[in-house]
Amino acid sequence: MLRLDGQLPLAATVAASGNWQVQALAQPAAMGALRAALRQLPQPAALPWDLSGISALDHIGAQMLWNAWGRRRPGQLRLAPGQEEFFRRLEQAGALALPAGDGHPWFSIVSLAGTARRFGSHLAGMLALVGQLVLDLGRFARRPRQGPWKEISASVYHIGFQALGITALVGVLIGVVLSYLSAQQLHTFGGDIYLVNILGMSIVRELGPMLAAILVAGRSGSAITAQLGVMRVTEELDAMLVMGLPHGFRLVMPRVLALALVMPLLVVWTDAMALIGGMAAANIQLDMAPAYFLQKLPSAVPIANYWIGLGKGVVFGSLIALVACHFGLRIQPNTESLGQGTTTSVVTAITVVILADAVFAIVFNQVGYY
């Protein structure tokens, strides 16, 4: 409760007493009466305050008084033993201010210059990483027995073998959905026999490599970035440099080689699962026999499309590994940078994969068709 000791408001002393803990303040009647009493005080921070009569005080009660004072200590304040700590922490918290913005809108020249500078920094770092990778590959080719075979084998297992389940599931579902949607439209125009052509070309040439790349970027790309980031936080990367173990030869190259090796295999696996799902849906929807589907598929899809899909797998895998390692090595030794770097790595990897797919579509636009 609050009471005024004196006649004139500006000369009176505001005395607080009772229980100012959250259990007591949580009662609606008590909270409403207390807020009404605080609003009636003229210039609360200018009045003398006596809190020695408060029997129990916690951070909630102290915060309520602090807000009533305008977030500053009154000129005359009498406290009971143990209450000073609450208001000292509130003063320290109020002294911590967020850095002021630069006052420029997001589209201003300054903002654009900062974005261009960050993009240039990432581009230069990526080029340096690619150059170091070329040197490491040359060293590996000259002395293959001294290469990081264990790291490559472990990466192949974690990135390739453990991704078979999720790629098979997504591939089957995409095949079923695509088959159902295409069958409805083709049946309307009497073109049921062309379902094999649509499924084969779309899955083998585009959807299979893209699905595998996006799944690997979200699953394995984020894992690579997080692994390197944790190594930065725990100072393992610095320890490797002290011991003379280069990051590129032991960390980057094994992951790039592993992804370049397993991605074509995952593309073939995803293609097969998607075609199986589409074949099953075609059998249910159009009563198309699986034997006819398998017999028609080689003639519906030229062999060049398979090679394009495998080439996409190699390129997509290498790009995902490079992007993941790039952002993993740039993570700062704190948890906030680790989370932000992992998120940025996944988004960038997927974007780079889509851009690379667009380049493939432009370069090979006359290849793989009858």
Interhelix angle 109-142/253-285, nearest 10 degrees: 100
Q: Which of 342, 183, 325, 169 is nearest to 251 (CA)?
A: 325
Q: Considering 95, 128, 150, which residue would you say is the last residue of a domain?
A: 95
What pLDDT score does 71 carry? 80
Say if CB 297 and CB 200 are below 8 A apart.
yes
Give how many domains the chain has, as a whole number.
2
User: Quick one: 233 and 304 in the same domain?
Assistant: yes
* pLDDT per position as a tens digit, 89-141: 877 776 554 444 554 555 556 667 777 888 898 899 999 999 999 999 999 99
User: Quick one: 75 and 127 in the same domain?
Assistant: no
- The answer as to whether 104 is a domain residue is no
70: DSSP letter: T
What pLDDT score does 228 carry? 93
User: Quick one: 27 and 137 in the same domain?
Assistant: no
- The answer as to whether 111 is a domain residue is no
User: Quick one: 91 and 123 in the same domain?
Assistant: no
Say if CB 237 and CB 247 are below 8 A apart.
yes
What pLDDT score does 1 carry? 56
What pLDDT score does 6 carry? 47
- The answer as to whether 107 is a domain residue is no
- Residue 325 CA to residue 225 CA, distance in Å, equals 6
Alpha carbon of 7 to those of 11, 12, 14, 342, 367: distances in Å? 7, 6, 11, 64, 96
What pLDDT score does 317 carry? 95
* pLDDT per position as a tens digit, 140-177: 999 998 889 999 999 999 998 999 999 999 999 999 99
- The answer as to whether 106 is a domain residue is no
- Token pair of 203 as six digits: 């899955």
- The answer as to whether 113 is a domain residue is no
- The answer as to whether 103 is a domain residue is no
E strands present in 183-341: none
- Residue 247 CA to residue 86 CA, distance in Å, equals 49
What predicted TM-score, i.e. pTM, was given to this entire model? 0.69
User: Quick one: 227 and 179 in the same domain?
Assistant: yes
User: Quick one: 133 and 234 in the same domain?
Assistant: yes
Say if CB 225 and CB 328 are below 8 A apart.
yes
User: Quick one: 126 and 90 in the same domain?
Assistant: no
Residue 9 CB partners (closer than 8 Å, separation 6+):
41, 42, 47
What pLDDT score does 7 carry? 45
Only one residue has tokens 């636009």, namely 365
Q: Which of 206, 256, 203, 204 is nearest to 228 (CA)?
A: 256
- The answer as to whether 203 is a domain residue is yes
User: Quick one: 127 and 218 in the same domain?
Assistant: yes
Domain that holds residue 9: 2-95
User: Quick one: 66 and 148 in the same domain?
Assistant: no
- The answer as to whether 341 is a domain residue is yes
User: Quick one: 149 and 90 in the same domain?
Assistant: no
Q: Considering 95, 110, 131, which residue would you say is the last residue of a domain?
A: 95
User: Quick one: 68 and 188 in the same domain?
Assistant: no
Pairing of strands 13-20, 2-5: antiparallel
What pLDDT score does 184 carry? 81
Question: What residues in the chain have per-residue pLDDT under 50?
Answer: 4, 6-9, 97-100, 103
- Residue 296 CA to residue 81 CA, distance in Å, equals 89
What pLDDT score does 92 carry? 76
What pLDDT score does 214 carry? 95
Only one residue has tokens 């940078």, namely 337
User: Quick one: 136 and 202 in the same domain?
Assistant: yes
